[in-house]
Each structure stands twice: as C-alpha cells, then as structure tokens.
C-alpha cells in the first residue's frame, strides 16, 4: 500500500452551530487527479481550504506523506506549502492590478526569475487559456468566464506540484470547459502533478480523473475509481450522478 500524499482522518469542522464536516476520511495519492463532488453547500470548499491551511479543523488530523501536519517542522511545512497552489471558487483576483500583474504576482514575489522569463511564463499561460490581449485590463473589465481563466492561469504559473481547483470550469462554455480539462490533463502528463478538483461537471469530469470522492452530509459517502462508481450500488451516488434529488 502506498502512503497517501494527503490524508484526512476524521476531520470535523463547525462554524458556530453549523456542523459542516462531521468526520471526513479521504486519501489523495501522489500524481493522481481526484474529483470531489457533492451538493452545493456541503462543505467541499471548506474541505479544500483545510489542505492549504486557510481553515483549521476542530478535530481530526491531516497527514502529509503519513506525517501529521502539525508534527512537520517549520521548514517541512513551508516546503510542502510551496508545492501547493490554490484556485479560488470566486477567483479572488486582485482588483487593483492588471491581468498581467495578477498572473505574474506569485512569480514576482517568490522567485528570482528575471523579468523576461516571468513575461514568457505569463504569456504562455495566457495564450493557453485564450487570454491574449487582456494583459493591460483589470479584472472588473473581463467577463466572468475570462476571470475564471485568469485565476486558473495564476494558479498554474508557478508550475506547482499539487493544485487544488475549486470549480475551475463553472461558468465556462462547453468549448472552454473542454480546453480547461485537456489543459489539466496535459499538465499532469507533463509534470505528473497531483490535482484535486471540486466540480459539478458530471459526467465530463469522468474522462479526466482517476478517482472520485463524494462529500455528502459532512462525510465522504463514496471514494473510488470511475469503474467503482458504475459497479457500486450506492443509491446516493447514483441519484446524484444521475442528477436527481437525493
């Protein structure tokens, strides 16, 4: 058995009296693309934020390569977090900066790349995502789908090893959706990165991912490969994937 890259053990999280996560157990393996699906408001974003440290669990543990996160030394923690990249559901672009500066920011602030190299990297991402020509604009001047792609470009510009995508394709047209999916796939083949994708793109996402986890009612109701889904007789999963009300 390989040790998971990231493992949630009995993670619980409440906001006041609102019990969002009620004991989540989930493993994420190195080099895989895993999708987290589930109804709106079940806590998928909250779960994802635990990995990057924006939300702290009330109880339970998060293991990184088998070691609890809180037992890592400061250096180990930093080096783990430097491999991470997070794409926010609401983009969280810097509205006072141009598109170019937004995408370049993680490179400019954290590395010593010379200016022309930064420029090359940023323009490559922009071209891949159909954003050429928008570099001097501000986020408020773009359409919702374009902003989403800017957020995607920003998350990928540092060539991270682990990327957490919170609904990367919501609000995009079918062609762009496919583009984004194939870009993620291409990336994985090239860099062997690990991707966690929170998504509502069922069934398109099945072509992209190796495994799927379903969050419902504060726990992971299902975790397994695509094949497992079709074999499983989980009623909740079937109805959810089938689009009926659970």
Ligand X SMILES: Nc1ncnc2c1ncn2[C@@H]1O[C@H](COP(=O)(O)OP(=O)(O)OP(=O)(O)O)[C@@H](O)[C@H]1O
Range in contact with another protein (rule: CB under 8 A) among 77-85, 114-122, 198-206, 220-228: 77-85
**Pair 25, 19: CB distance under 8 Å:** no
Read off φ and ψ for residue 142, nearest 5 degrees: -105, 165
Give the residues across from 163 on adjacent strands: 85, 195
Q: Which position among 3, 56, 71, 78 is part of the footprint of another protein (CB under 8 A)?
A: 78
Q: What does 106 interact with, of another protein, ligand X, Mg ion, none (CB < 5 to 8 A by kind)?
A: another protein
Q: Which position among 106, 130, 145, 224 is part of the footprint of another protein (CB under 8 A)?
A: 106
Q: How far apart are CA 196 and CA 209, in angstroms?
A: 9
Question: Would you say 153 or 214 has its CB closer to another protein?
Answer: 153
158 lies in the site for Mg ion, by CB under 5 A: no
Q: Based on the number of CB atoms within 10 Å of its own CB, is 29 exposed (0-12), middle (13-18) or buried (19 or more)?
A: middle
52-91 residues in contact with Mg ion (CB under 5 A) are 89
Range in contact with another protein (rule: CB under 8 A) among 14-22, 89-97, 203-211, 231-239: 89-97
Which long-range CB contacts under 8 A does 185-189 form with residues at least 24 apart? 185/33, 187/156, 188/31, 188/33
Question: Would you say 62 or 198 has its CB closer to Mg ion?
Answer: 198
45 lies in the site for Mg ion, by CB under 5 A: yes
17 lies in the site for ligand X, by CB under 6 A: no
Q: Which of 55, 53, 61, 112 is nearest to 81 (CA)?
A: 53
37-96 residues in contact with ligand X (CB under 6 A) are 38, 40-46, 89
What is the gyration radius of the CA atoms in the chain, in angstroms? 18
Range in contact with ligand X (rule: CB under 6 A) among 33-41, 108-116, 129-137, 150-158: 33-41
CA atoms 58, 64, 67, 69: torsion sign? negative
Tokens standing for 81? 């977090």
Q: Which position among 4, 53, 60, 145 is part of the footprint of another protein (CB under 8 A)?
A: 53
Q: What does 156 interact with, of another protein, Mg ion, ligand X, none (CB < 5 to 8 A by kind)?
A: none
Which residues sit at the interface with another protein, rule CB under 8 A? 52-54, 78, 81-82, 84-86, 88, 90, 92-96, 105-106, 109-110
């Amino acid at each position: 058995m390989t040790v998971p890259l990231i493992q949630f053990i009995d993670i619980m999280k409440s906001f006041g009296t609102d019990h969002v996560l009620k004991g989540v157990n989930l493993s994420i393996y190195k080099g895989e693309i895993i999708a987290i699906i589930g109804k709106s408001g079940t806590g998928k974003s909250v779960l994802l934020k635990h990995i990057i440290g924006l939300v702290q669990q009330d109880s339970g543990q998060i293991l990184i390569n088998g070691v609890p996160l809180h037992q890592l030394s400061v250096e180990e923690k930093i080096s783990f977090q430097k491999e991470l990249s997070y794409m926010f559901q609401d983009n969280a672009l810097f509205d006072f900066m141009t598109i170019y500066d937004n995408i370049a920011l993680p490179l400019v602030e954290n590395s010593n790349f010379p200016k022309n190299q930064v420029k090359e990297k940023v323009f490559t991402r922009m071209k891949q995502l159909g954003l050429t020509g928008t570099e001097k604009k501000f986020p408020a001047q773009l359409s919702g789908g374009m902003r989403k792609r800017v957020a995607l470009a920003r998350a990928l510009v540092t060539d991270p090893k682990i990327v957490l995508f919170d609904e990367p394709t919501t609000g995009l047209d079918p062609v762009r959706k496919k583009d984004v999916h194939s870009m993620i796939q291409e990336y994985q083949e090239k860099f062997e990165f690990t991707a966690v994708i929170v998504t509502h793109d069922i069934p398109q996402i099945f072509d992209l991912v190796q495994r799927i986890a379903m969050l419902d009612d504060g726990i992971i109701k299902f975790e397994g490969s695509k094949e497992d889904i079709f074999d499983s007789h989980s009623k909740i999963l079937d109805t959810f994937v089938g689009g009926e009300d659970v």
